[in-house]
């Protein structure tokens, strides 16, 4: 009977870098299991006792090759991203004693945020892109105390 060694990616159990890479890794792993099962059922003659190693560590797909950059976001600012598949993310910090309603737009999308007082909000995806793009970003503050913004993207 043939023996197959199907190996999952060594990147487990921590969180995958990309959904596509994770999905292809597991598709290859399960395909290996199917091949191993069919070979075990149909193995005869010279194939008996043969061991074949099948690895499923596929190359990572869509891993950003640019430099992840975090910078202050000013109203009307233009950014140019690296030639990658990635997200442009934003966050805000309120300058007053209470939460401040803010909005950021760019890349054909708009995102409303609630900026906490004197601390940064969680990162929020503004838009995703494939390849290098140039986008003009604008901000809107709907409170009297003001707010600061940051943008994160691959440059």
pTM above 0.75, yes or no: no
Structural domains of the chain, with CATH: 3-55 (no CATH), 68-154 (2.60.120.260)
DSSP element (H, E) containing 36: helix 19-42
Contact 115, 73 (CB under 8 A): no
Q: Give pLDDT, residue 101.
A: 96
Q: Give pLDDT, residue 111.
A: 96
Exposure string of 94-114, with b = 16+ CB inside 10 Å and e = fewer, is beeeebbebebbbbeeebebe
Contact 85, 65 (CB under 8 A): no
Residue 103 pairs with which residues in a beta bridge?
A: 112, 140
pLDDT tier for residue 42 given thresholds of 50, 70 and 90? low
> Per-residue pLDDT for 56 more than 60?
no
The per-residue pLDDT for range 78-133, each reduced to its tens digit, is 999 999 999 999 999 999 999 999 999 999 999 999 999 999 999 999 999 999 99
């Amino acid at each position: 009977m043939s023996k197959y060694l199907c190996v999952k990616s060594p990147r487990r159990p921590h969180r995958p870098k990309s959904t596509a890479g994770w999905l292809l890794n597991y598709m290859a792993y399960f395909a290996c299991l199917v091949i191993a099962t069919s070979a075990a059922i149909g193995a005869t003659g010279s194939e008996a006792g043969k061991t074949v190693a099948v690895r499923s560590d596929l190359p990572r797909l869509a891993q950003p090759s640019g430099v992840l950059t975090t910078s202050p976001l000013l109203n009307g600012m233009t950014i140019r991203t690296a030639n990658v598949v990635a997200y442009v993310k934003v966050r805000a910090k309120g300058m007053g004693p209470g939460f401040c309603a803010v909005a950021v737009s760019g890349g054909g999308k708009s995102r409303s945020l609630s900026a906490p007082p004197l601390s940064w909000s969680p990162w929020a995806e503004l838009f995703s892109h494939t390849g290098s793009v140039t986008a003009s970003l604008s901000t809107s503050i709907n409170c009297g105390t003001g707010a600061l913004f940051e943008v994160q993207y691959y440059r």
